[in-house]
Amino acid sequence: MTTFHLFIIGDEILSGRRQDKHFAHMLETLKARGHKIAAAYYLPDDADVLAETFKRSLNAGYQVISCGGIGATPDDHTRQAFANALGLPLSLHPEAAERITSRFAEAAYPYRIQMAYFPEGCQLIPNPVNQVAGCYFKSHYLLPGFPSMAWPMLDWILDEHYIDASPETTLSFIMLNAREGELIGKMQSFTQRYPNIAFSSLPSYGNSQHPEPHVEFSITAEATLAVEAMAYLKECLHTVSNIKK
Radius of gyration, alpha carbons of the chain: 23
**pLDDT for the residue 1:** 86
What is the DSSP secondary structure assignment for residue 112, as one 8-state letter?
Answer: G
What's the pLDDT tens digit per position in 47-77?
999 999 999 999 999 999 999 999 999 999 9
Q: What is the pTM of this model?
A: 0.86
Q: What is the spatial distance between Cα 53 and Cα 43, in angstroms, rounded to a whole number?
A: 9
Q: By the 8 A CB rule, do 140 and 82 touch? A: yes
What's the pLDDT tens digit per position in 11-49?
999 999 999 999 999 999 999 999 999 999 999 999 999
**pLDDT for the residue 239:** 55
Pairing verdict, β 140-143 and 63-67: parallel
Residues linked to residue 17 through DSSP beta bridges, in sequence order: none
Q: By the 8 A CB rule, do 136 and 65 touch? A: no
* Cis amide prior to 94 (ω within 30 degrees): no
- DSSP SS3 for 47: helix
**pLDDT for the residue 52:** 98
How do the residues of the chain divide into helix, strand and coil, expressed in percent and rounded to 5? 45, 25, 30
- Average pLDDT for consecutive 10-residue bins of the chain (245 residues)? 96 96 97 95 98 98 98 97 98 98 97 97 97 97 98 98 92 90 91 94 86 91 92 80 51
Q: What is the spatial distance between Cα 26 and Cα 168, in angstroms, rounded to a whole number?
A: 16
Specify the length of the chain in residues. Answer: 245
Count other C-beta atoms under 10 Å from residue 243's C-beta: 13
